[in-house]
C-alpha cells in the first residue's frame, strides 16, 4: 500500500492563479480531509468528506473547493490564490472520524 499520497510536494503561485492539490489513498478509507498548517496555529481543517459524493466544510473553508467523485481521490482546489493561503497542506484519511487518521507527506504552497 502506498498509503496517502499528495502532489505536488512544493508549488509557487502568483496571486490570482488557480491550482489543484491532489490527494489519493489506497486503503479504501471513507473519511478524507484537508488541513492547513501554519506556525503556532496547529492543524486547521479546511474540508472533509465522509464518503464519495459527500463533502462538508471545516474550520477554514473560504477560498477552497473540494469534490469526492471516488473513494480514492480528494482534490483540493484553490480558486484564486492569495498570499494568506501560503501554508503547508496535509491530506489525511481514515475509516471514519473515530479511527486512526493517516496523513500524507504534505504540499508546501507559496503564494506571491
Partner 1 sequence: GENVEQHPSTLSVQEGDSAVIKCTYSDSASNYFPWYKQELGKGPQLIIDIRSNVGEKKDQRIAVTLNKTAKHFSLHITETQPEDSAVYFCAASITGNQFYFGTGTSLTVIP
Q: How many CB atoms lie within 10 A of CB 30?
A: 17
Which 3 state secondary structure label does DSSP give 1? Answer: coil
List the one residue from 19, 27, 45, 52 that touches partner 1 (CB under 8 A). 45
Stretch of 13-21, 65-73, 79-87, 101-109 contacting partner 1, by CB under 8 A: 101-109
d(CA 39, CA 24): 26
11 near partner 1, rule: CB under 8 A: no
The answer to whether residue 95 forms part of the interface with partner 1 (CB under 8 A) is: no
State in angstroms the smallest separation of the CB of 97 from partner 1.
5
Rank residues 17 and 101 by Cβ distance to partner 1 and give the closer one.
101
Amino acid at each position: 500500500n502506498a498509503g496517502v499520497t499528495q502532489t505536488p510536494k512544493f508549488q509557487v503561485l502568483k496571486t490570482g492563479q488557480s491550482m489543484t492539490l491532489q490527494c489519493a489513498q489506497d486503503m479504501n478509507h471513507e473519511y478524507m480531509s484537508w488541513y492547513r498548517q501554519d506556525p503556532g496555529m496547529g492543524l486547521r481543517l479546511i474540508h472533509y468528506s465522509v464518503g464519495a459524493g459527500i463533502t462538508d466544510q471545516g474550520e477554514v473553508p473560504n477560498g477552497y473547493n473540494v469534490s469526492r467523485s471516488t473513494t480514492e481521490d480528494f482534490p483540493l482546489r484553490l480558486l484564486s490564490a492569495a498570499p494568506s493561503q501560503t501554508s503547508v497542506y496535509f491530506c489525511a484519511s481514515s475509516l471514519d472520524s473515530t479511527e486512526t487518521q493517516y496523513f500524507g507527506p504534505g504540499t508546501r504552497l507559496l503564494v506571491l
